[in-house]
Amino acid sequence: MDEILASLAQLARLTAGVPPAHLMAGYLLAQPERTRFVSRLDPEAPLGMAFGIHRRIEVPMMPWQGFIRGVPIPDPLVWIDSVRATARDAIEVRVSTDDLALTNLLAPVYARTGPRDERVAIERHITSLRAEVDRALDIYAEVKRLMEDPDHEADRDLPHFLSMAEGQMEQLGRELSRLKARIEGP
Please indicate, yes or no, whether the overall pTM of this predicted structure exceeds 0.85: no
* Cβ contacts of 118 within 8 Å, gap of 6 or more: none
Q: How many CA atoms lie within 13 A of 33 on its CB side?
A: 3
**So where are the chain's domains?**
2-98, 118-184
Write down the pLDDT at residue 113: 60
Q: Closest Cα to residue 93, out of 34, 164, 159, 5?
A: 34
Write down the pLDDT at residue 121: 64
Cα–Cα dist 136/29, whole Å: 47
Contact 37, 7 (CB under 8 A): yes
Low-confidence ranges of the chain (pLDDT < 50): none
Write down the pLDDT at residue 57: 66
pLDDT, tens digit (0-9, with 9 covering 90-100), for 22-52:
999 999 999 999 999 988 888 878 899 999 9
**Domain 2-98 - what CATH class?**
alpha beta
Write down the pLDDT at residue 65: 95
Write down the pLDDT at residue 6: 94
Cα–Cα dist 41/117, whole Å: 9
